[in-house]
Chains A and B, each alone.
Chain A
Amino acid sequence: MAFQFSQAGLDDLNGYLKHCPKKEAGLLYALHLVQQQAGYVPDEAVDVVGKLLEVSRSHIEGVLTFYTMYFRKPMGRNVVTVCSTISCALNGALDTVGEFEKQLEIETGETTPDGQFSLLKVECLGACDKAPVVMVNDQKFDGVKREKVKELIHVCRKRAGANGSARA
């Protein structure tokens, strides 16, 4: 199905573009909106964004591959990102990653077969005093030591079950 921006998304983007002398400047903004709406950045959305902002497909691909937050394939309902940078690592982040892998029965970078969870590692989430830090979609969880992993997965499963999707 062809990608179409929601009206609210378009209004939002146009409001931003009013202040930019070049449409291209709305690219990161537009791609965030796409991902919010579709869960990832599908090929057909790249074309829509390209036409809207008058930028080439290759330019958009260059931007998509540069920034780590854009996904080019469908992800699980719960995208779990574990910070593995120094302060988190010093407080057991690797154990946290390992426990997620064990509990979800996937490797980092994979999605569970039921589509509920994707597991990723991320460079510094900027909350080093709460190490180890985990983000699930847009929500941050502090002090996620190995023993808290099971409970966090349970909370996410329950939430996804209640709403159909954990995505905001």
Chain B
Amino acid sequence: MEPILTRYARDPEQKKIDVAVSHGAYEAAKKALAMKPEEVIETVKSSGLRGRGGAGFPTGNKWSFIPAAAPVRYLAVNADESEPGTFKDRLLIEGDPHLLLEGIIIASYAIKCRTAFIYIRGEFTDGANILREAIREAYAKGILGEKVLGTSYALDVLVARGAGAYICGEETGLLESLEGHRGQPRVKPPFPAIRGLFGQPTIVNNVETLCCVPPILSHGAEWFKKIGPEKSPGPKLFCISGRVRKPGIYELPMGIPAEQLVLEYGGGVPEGRKIKGIIPGGSSAAVLGPKQFGTPLDFDSLGKIGNMLGSAGVIVLDDTVCAVDALTNIMRFYAHESCGQCTPCREGTAWSVKILTRLERGEGVPRDLENIANLTRMISGRALCPLADGAAMPLTSFFREFKDEFVAHLEQKRCPMRGAAVPGEQRPLPLESGTHA
């Protein structure tokens, strides 16, 4: 497949507006601005575009939820990519900022909003600087501001930096953060499209989702629908990392089987090793064991087996990796990033780390395995936002796929992988974690 989203993103000159324009940037926005906002929404709806932030919700439908009478509306761009294993938005933000800005213009026009905020994760300092420069250039050329592309439509785009909190990638946590608060998610409903930023209707869209919009306007909804599976159409950026030879970002139609992606694009695992597990959608997704390696990577195929495509951050584990150690690392992330609002999430993630750490150290007690299973039930579906479910998925799936290893840790009173693995790469990370000074 010819790259669509990343066609120019690896060209270092593409961030300059003149180069982007010479490659056709803002032509789709001109086309959209000549249409009625409702027609733009209809086009995106009929393209079948589903949000690339993790949930896979139909984008055009989301846009149409804004109440018709609302005097003020906002677009909040979710550029807070921070799911372990996910690094696709960084490429789009840093490599082709004008594609994103064009998507923002089209989306803002469609929902009739005058101000769009790009909420970018604090650690992406390069990305924030590149976006600010791209916005400055766009204002100077009359592409943003009072008369967008020479029309009567006015739009301001601002960059807001996060400050190191994974939970701000959750849409209502993001809105709280934009309002100057701790990024603790809100109770839903009301959904942001009804009551969002500063109490006004707000659409929250992921970077990759918005980058899909200009090509849809340029080539049409039918063209987009023909890429990939019928119910998950369009190009998708797959991130491959972990124990693979060619980690990176690969733009493909959805639906490629997991193992094929790892072998064909990720170059497989290091020589002499075997694939042990594939996490298909960032660390919140369930790990696929060998029997599931053929699962097509799209929203519905993964949904059918109780898994999810999420952010398409594919993390590969080879046979040198201790399942208990890997899971401890993942759960430590969720324990650190839980916002603390909901007890099952705050306590459950922390307890899982304690139990897993003692298992890994050979200090496990017989009830630990039962407690892990109980904890999963106590966390899942019992919190305000999906972070808790995201933490429960790896917990359940690692325990299911590699139960023998958990039992072996308990029975042998040590990590059975230790010494057998690649030297120096199997030590558990220290318990304390975080950057609070």
| Chain A residues within CB distance 8 Å of chain B | 16, 19-22, 24-29, 31-32, 40, 53, 55, 59, 62-63, 65-73, 75, 81, 84-87, 89-95, 97, 108-109, 118, 120-131, 135, 138, 140, 146
Contact = CB atoms under 8 A, between A and B. Distances in A.
B180 A121 contact: no
Nearest to B197: A25
Given A86-B84, A90-B321, A140-B126, A129 B248 contact: yes
23 contacts: A25-B180, A28-B180, A32-B161, A32-B163, A63-B181, A68-B164, A68-B434, A68-B435, A70-B163, A72-B437, A86-B330, A91-B425, A94-B427, A94-B429, A108-B432, A122-B123, A124-B84, A124-B166, A126-B124, A128-B85, A128-B86, A128-B239, A138-B125
A68 B125 CA distance: 15
Contacts of B81: 126
A128 B313 contact: yes
Contact of B433 (A24, A84, A128): A84
Nearest to A87: B241
Interface of B: 81-87, 90, 115, 121-126, 156, 158, 160-166, 177-183, 198, 239-243, 247-249, 283, 313, 315, 317, 321, 326, 329-330, 333, 336-337, 339, 424-425, 427, 429-430, 432-437
A65 B435 CA distance: 11
Contacts of A140: 126
Contacts of A73: 437
A29 B82 CA distance: 19
Contact of B180 (A27, A72, A124, A127): A27
Nearest to B424: A95
Contacts of A135: 123
B316 to A, nearest CB: 8
Contact of B161 (A29, A63, A68, A97): A29
A67 B437 contact: no
Contacts of B242: 86-87, 90-91, 128
Task: Tell me whether chain B's interface is mostly helix, strand or loop, or mixed.
Answer: loop
Contact of B429 (A72, A89, A128, A129): A89
Contacts of A21: 198
Nearest to A120: B435
B435 A129 contact: no
Nearest to B83: A124
A2 to B, nearest CB: 22
Given A90-B321, A129-B247, 15 more contacts: A22-B179, A22-B198, A31-B163, A65-B436, A66-B165, A67-B162, A67-B164, A86-B242, A89-B329, A91-B242, A92-B425, A121-B435, A126-B82, A128-B315, A129-B239
Contacts of A72: 437
A86 B158 contact: no
A115 B6 CA distance: 42
Nearest to A93: B429
Contacts of B165: 66-68
Given A89-B429, A90-B425, A94-B429, A126 B180 contact: no
Contacts of A22: 179-180, 198
A71 B123 CA distance: 14
A129 B434 contact: no
Given A25-B179, A68-B436, A123 B87 contact: no
Contacts of B241: 87, 128-129, 131
